[in-house]
Structure 1
Amino acid sequence: MSSSSPARAVTRTLSDDPLGGTVRRTVLPSGLRVLTEAIPAMRSVSFGIWVAVGSRDETGPQAGAAHFLEHLLFKGTRKRSALEISSEIEAVGGETNAFTTKEYTCYYARVLDEDLPLAIDVMCDAVADSVLAAADVETERGVILEEIAMHDDEPGDEVHDLFARAIYGDHPLGRLISGTEETVTPMTRRQIQGFYRSRYTAPQIVIAAAGNLDHAAVVKLVRQALRGTPLDTDPATPAPHRATAPAVRVQPATTLVEPKETEQAHVLLGCPAIDRTDDRRFALGVLNNVLGGGMSSRLFQEIREQRGLAYSVYSYASQYADSGVFAVYAGCAPGKVDEVLDLTRAELARVAAEGITEAELARGKGMSKGSFVLGLEDTGSRMSRLAKGELLYGNLMPVDELLARVDAVTLADVNDLAAELLARPMSLAVVGPFESGAFTVGR
C-alpha cells in the first residue's frame, strides 16, 4: 500500500455535449479511472463503481463468486456495519443497489447533489474495504440459494439461461451468473476473499458520476475515501478493455427443452451474432427494431396483433466483447408453440431473403435514436453511459456521433446483415410441459 505523497493524477475533458454536460476523465496514479458528467440543471447525482469482473471471469468451481461477492460487499467494512451502510444513505433519501453481469459488476447510489460526499465515502468504503465476515458469508449463501430457487420458479427467466447454454455450452458465457446450488453451497470464505482481492484491483475499476457535481471535487473525495484501503495502491496503468479475439467458440445449432408443468410455454429461437465492437451493431439495432423491437414490429404484428397467438413476443440482440446473440422470445399457450415457431422461422427466412423496406428502415432508425436519447433523461443512465464507454469500449462516443452512426445505416447494410445472420442455423430453448425430444433442431 502506498505511503508516499499522492502522485499526480491525469485529467482531460472528453466532451462538452450540447445534449448533456461537460464530461471529464481522471486517471489516478493507481490506475483507477474517474469519469463525471456535470449537469448543473439536475439536483441529484448518480454515483457508480464499476468493476471489469463478471461471471465469465470465474473458473468452474468459482461459478457464482462474482455474484456472491456483490451481496457481501454491503455487509460491513472496518468502518461500517451493514446497517450503517444502508441507513446512512437512506437517512438522506438516497438509494443504493448493485448488479452482476457476465462481464462487469456495478455498485451504485443516487442521492441529492448536496449528499454526494456521503455517497462517495459510503460506496468506496463498501467496495474497497469489505471484511467478508464468516457469519455474513453463511447468511448470504442462504439468501443466494433462495434467489437461485426463485429463479427456477420463473420460466420466463429460465429460458434465457437455457438459451445461453444452447449457444455457449460449457463456456463461462453459457453459465448462470448466480452460479448453481452445486457451486454456491461449497464455496468458502477463503475462495471468495481470494476472488475479491485478485480481481477488485484499481486498474480494473471505473468510477462514474453524473448530475450536479464538480469533477475536481469528486476526484478529491474519491481519493480521500480510498486512502488507506486495499485500492490505495502503487502506481499502475488502467487495464485495457476486454479483448475481442479470439472469438468465443459457439455450439452447433441445438435444441434444449426444460420439461416443466407451466400454464404458458416459453420459447427462444436464435443464433450467434456479432460482438459489441463490430461496426454492424448499428445495422443490427435497426434490424432488431424492425423484426421484434416494438408493437409495430413484424413479429409482434404477425403473432400477437393479427393472430393472437402470444401475449409477449419480441426480439433482442446481446453483445459481448468477443461474441453476441440474436434471438426471438415468445410466451404462449403450449398448444400454440409449433405455430408460433413456424411463423417466426418463416418471417426470419423472409427477411433474410427479401430484406426490409425503406419505410421500415426509417422507422427502425427512428426507434434506435429515440430510445437512446430518451434514455439519457436521468442521471443514472448518463452515469452508466460513462462507465460502459470506458469499461467496454475504451472511449466515450459523443451523442451526436452515435446518432450520426445510426443515420448512416443504409438499406443495404441492414439487408446484407439480415441475409447473413438470419440464414444461420437456429438454436431453440423451450421451457414448458413438453418431453425433452419434442422439438427438432433447425428451421
Structure 2
Amino acid sequence: MTSLHEHAPAGQQPPADRPVALQPLPAGVRRTVLPSGLRIVTEHVAGVRSAAIGVWIGVGSAHESPALHGGSHFLEHVLFKGTDTRSALDISVQLDEVGAEVNAFTAKEYTCFHARVLDTDVPLAIDVLGDMLTSSSITDEDVEAEREVILDEIAMHDDDPDDVVHNLFAEQAWGDTPYGRPIAGTETSIAALTAEQVREFWRAHYTAPGIVVSAAGNVDHDEVVRLVAAAFDRRGFLDRTADPVAAPLLHAPARPAVQDVRAGTIVAERGFEQVNVVLGRRGLARGDERRFAMGILTTGLGGGTSSRLFQEVRERRGLAYSVYAFTTQHVGAGLVGVGVGVLPSKVDATLDVVRRELETVAERGLDADEVRRGAGQLRAGLVMGLEDTASRMHRLGKAEIVGDRLLDVDAVIARIDAVTPEDVAALAAEVLRGPEVLAVVRPG
C-alpha cells in the first residue's frame, strides 16, 4: 500500500501560513488555482491512452512533533480504510475493476496519493482520491487495525540492510531532529499514537490551500479541473476562499542555510551475511543551483560502470558487487555519500579505497571525459524518465508542492551541459572534505 521516501533543523518552528509565489510554467503545462487555494497542474502527453494522477499534500514527517513521530505515514495508511460512502473493499473493487495502479508514499516534506489509469477512467480515479482525502472515516477500529500493519512494515524495513544503513546514516548525520528520524516512526512512537491524534493531524494539515493535484497523460486540463472541483467538494472542503499556502518549514522567506552534520560512526548488528556501509558528508540543500554539478559529481564517483568507485572497488579489486554514490537534498539539509555492501573480511580494504578516491576527487575534481560522461547519463535519465506519464506527474506535483521552479526539459539539459570540470572541482573540494559520517550494519 505504501512506500517511504526520502524535516527541518532542530528548534526551527513552522512559519505562519502565507501565500505561495506561483512560479512560471514550461510550455504545455497548465495550472489552475481554485478559489479555495487548491492547485491543479496538468500536462497533456500526445500519443498515450493512459493518465497518471497525483494528490500532493504539503506535509510529511518534517512537520511532526516528537509526540507525532510517524503520524504522516500512519495517516497515509488509514485514508485507504474507507469513507462516508465507500468501504475499504469498495475502494479496492472499484479501482481493480478498471485495472488502476494505486498507491501512496510519505516523504519528509510531503505526502502523495497517486493512481495510473486508462484515460477513460480518469473521472473514477479523481473521484476516489478526492473522496479518500476529504471524507475518510478514520474510525478507532481502523486506526488500531492499521497500527499492526505499520508495525509489520517497520519490521520489514528493519530486515532490509539498505533501509537500515540509510536510516542509521541519517540518524548519525542529523541526530534526534526531524531530518534524522525515520519517516515511518518507531515501534514506540507508533504504539503511542491515538486515533484522535491521527484525526487531528488530518484535520490540521489536509486542507485545500496546501494541496496540489497533478495529472499527466491523455488529459484535458479544463476537464481535470472540473473533475477535481467536484471530487473535492465534500464536507465543505472547498468552501473557504484562500490563497494556496506554503507548507510549514518548506518556504521560509529565505531558504535556510544547509544544516551541519554530526561527524562520527554509528554501528548496528543484524542477521545479515554482508556488512553494509554508507560513508558520506554534508551535501547541498534543495534549490542550490549547484545541484547539476552535484549530479555529475556523484555520477562520476559512483553512477555507472565507468565511474571511479565501480572501477576501483569492483573491477580492479573485486571487493564488492555493488557500490554507488548518491546525494540527498532537503530544503534545509543535504548529504552526499557512498554506499557499498561487502563481506566482513573486506570492510577495511573497501573503506580505504573509498576514502582514497574521495580525497583524490576532492583534490583534483573529475577530468573532462568524466564530466562529459556524467552529463550524458543525466541527460538520458531525464529524457527517458519523462517518457513515462507517472514520472511526468511526479515532476509536476513535486515541483509545485515544494515551491521549486519547474524547468522545461531543454532548460534542464542546458544547465547540465553548462557544468564545467572547474565547477565540479570546486564543489568536490567543498563537500568531500567535510566531517565524515559513517554508518555500518554488520552481522551479529
TM-score (norm 2): 0.92
2:309 matches 1:305: no
- 1:204-231 CA-partner distances (Å, limit 9, x unpaired): 1110000111100100010011113353
Conservation of the 8 A alpha-carbon contact between 1:13 and 1:25: no
Read off the aligned partner of 2:251 and give its amino acid letter: A
- 1:64-107 CA-partner distances (Å, limit 9, x unpaired): 10000010011100010001111111101111100111111110
Distance 2:391 2:271 in 1: 38
Conservation of the 8 A alpha-carbon contact between 2:256 and 2:331: no
Indicate how the Cα distance of structure 1 residues 382 and 190 shifts in structure 2: closer, same or farther if over 3 A, else same. Answer: same
Which of residues 9, 25, 28 in structure 2 aligns to 1:14?
25
1:111-150 equivalences in 2 (<5 Å): 111-150=117-156
Task: Quote the residue 1:380 is aligned against.
Answer: 390
TM-score (norm 1): 0.92
Task: Quote the residue 1:439 is aligned against.
Answer: none
Conservation of the 8 A alpha-carbon contact between 1:86 and 1:96: no
Q: CA deviation at 1:110?
A: 0.6
Indicate how the Cα distance of structure 1 residues 376 and 423 shifts in structure 2: closer, same or farther if over 3 A, else same. Answer: same
Distance 1:276 1:12 in 2: 16
Task: Quote the residue 2:11 is aligned against.
Answer: none
SS of the equivalent of 1:31 reads coil
Q: CA deviation at 1:343?
A: 0.3
Indicate how the Cα distance of structure 1 residues 113 and 419 shifts in structure 2: closer, same or farther if over 3 A, else same. Answer: same
Read off the aligned partner of 1:15 and give its amino acid letter: P
Task: Quote the residue 1:110 is aligned against.
Answer: 116
Distance 2:363 2:341 in 1: 26
Q: CA deviation at 1:431?
A: 0.4
Determine what percentage of the aligned residue pairs are the same residue: 51
SS of the equivalent of 2:381 reads helix
Distance 1:203 1:394 in 2: 17
Which of residues 303, 328, 331 in structure 2 aligns to 1:321?
331
Indicate how the Cα distance of structure 1 residues 62 and 248 shifts in structure 2: closer, same or farther if over 3 A, else same. Answer: farther
Task: Quote the residue 2:70 is aligned against.
Answer: 64
Conservation of the 8 A alpha-carbon contact between 2:258 and 2:284: no
SS of the equivalent of 1:310 reads coil
2:29 matches 1:23: yes
Q: CA deviation at 1:46?
A: 0.3
Q: CA deviation at 1:248?
A: 5.4
Indicate how the Cα distance of structure 1 residues 230 and 255 shifts in structure 2: closer, same or farther if over 3 A, else same. Answer: farther
Task: Quote the residue 2:407 is aligned against.
Answer: 397
Conservation of the 8 A alpha-carbon contact between 2:134 and 2:234: no
Conservation of the 8 A alpha-carbon contact between 2:24 and 2:405: no
Indicate how the Cα distance of structure 1 residues 161 and 78 shifts in structure 2: closer, same or farther if over 3 A, else same. Answer: same
SS of the equivalent of 2:204 reads helix
Read off the aligned partner of 2:184 and give its amino acid letter: S
2:417 matches 1:411: no
Distance 1:316 1:111 in 2: 32
Distance 2:188 2:236 in 1: 31
Distance 1:12 1:53 in 2: 20
Q: CA deviation at 1:249?
A: 3.6
Q: CA deviation at 1:12?
A: 11
Distance 2:59 2:144 in 1: 23
Which of residues 434, 437, 442 in structure 2 aligns to 1:424?
434
Task: Quote the residue 2:177 is aligned against.
Answer: 171
Distance 1:61 1:228 in 2: 30
Task: Quote the residue 2:105 is aligned against.
Answer: 99
Deviates more, 1:228-237 or 1:114-123: 228-237
Distance 1:261 1:133 in 2: 38
2:293 matches 1:269: no
Task: Quote the residue 1:441 is aligned against.
Answer: none
SS of the equivalent of 1:116 reads helix
Distance 1:258 1:349 in 2: 27
Conservation of the 8 A alpha-carbon contact between 1:12 and 1:24: no
What is the total number of aligned residue pairs between the two structures?
Answer: 419
Q: CA deviation at 1:13?
A: 8.7
Task: Quote the residue 2:251 is aligned against.
Answer: 243
2:357 matches 1:351: no
Give me the CA root mean square deviation: 1.5
